Amino acid sequence: MNEWKQLITAGNRNYPADLDRSERGYQKAKARASHLFQHWFNKDEAVAALVVSYLNLADIYRFKDQPAKAEKEIQALYGYLTQHFMQTSSQARKAAIYRGLKQTYSAYLIHAQSYDVFDDPLSCPTNWLESERDVSCTTTQTTQHNGASK
């Protein structure tokens, strides 16, 4: 975890003065966070490190006026967390991942609003995140500009 903290701090230190260095630092932090996540040294810290790494990288892309790349980072994080959520049987791990999914979904909604993205390409409907009891992820909801569901 200390190595991840050093990498993320280096990325933060360079932001926004040197975006390329920040981007490289965040990419390295993302790789380290993925390793931590897979080995579950501390479930809450591992999820938080993963979320921070991906979302910081998405912020870099938005700052560089590359919203499509930012969106891909958010979608990749959401997919990664969802996959692991579905594969784990540990309630403690599910709870940690669930918190990360909520943060990621919120980040996506902010991104979508900022860039007029009206389709919801994430694999779970909004109401899934509103009810912690219903953790099945079997439907997809697509939202139109006026907010009505298709």
* pLDDT tens digit sequence for 26-61: 999 999 999 989 887 788 999 999 999 999 999 999
pLDDT at 149: 30
> Model-level pTM greater than 0.75?
yes
Confidence of residue 125 (pLDDT cuts 50, 70, 90): very low
pLDDT at 128: 41
Structural domain includes residue 99: yes
- Where is pLDDT greater, at 98 or 145? 98
User: Looking at the DSSP assignment, which residues form a beta bridge with residue 116?
Assistant: none
Structurally, the chain folds into a number of domains equal to 1
Structural domain includes residue 22: yes
Q: DSSP for 9-54?
A: HHHHHHTTT-HHHHHHHHHHHHHHHHHHHHHTSSHHHHHHHHHHHH
Structural domain includes residue 104: yes
Question: Measured in whole angstroms, how far is the alpha carbon of residue 14 from the centre of its chain?
Answer: 21
Comparing 53-57, 75-79, 102-106, 131-135, the range with the smallest average pLDDT is 131-135
Structural domain includes residue 134: no
- Look up tokens 């992820």; give the residue: 137
CATH code: domain of residue 59:
1.25.40
Cα 83 to Cα 81: distance, rounded to the nearest angstrom: 5
Residue range 69-93, pLDDT digits in tens: 999 999 999 999 999 999 999 999 9
Structural domain includes residue 140: no
Residue range 113-123, pLDDT digits in tens: 898 775 555 54
Structural domain includes residue 44: yes
Structural domain includes residue 124: no
Structural domain includes residue 34: yes
Computed over every residue of the chain, the mean pLDDT equals 82
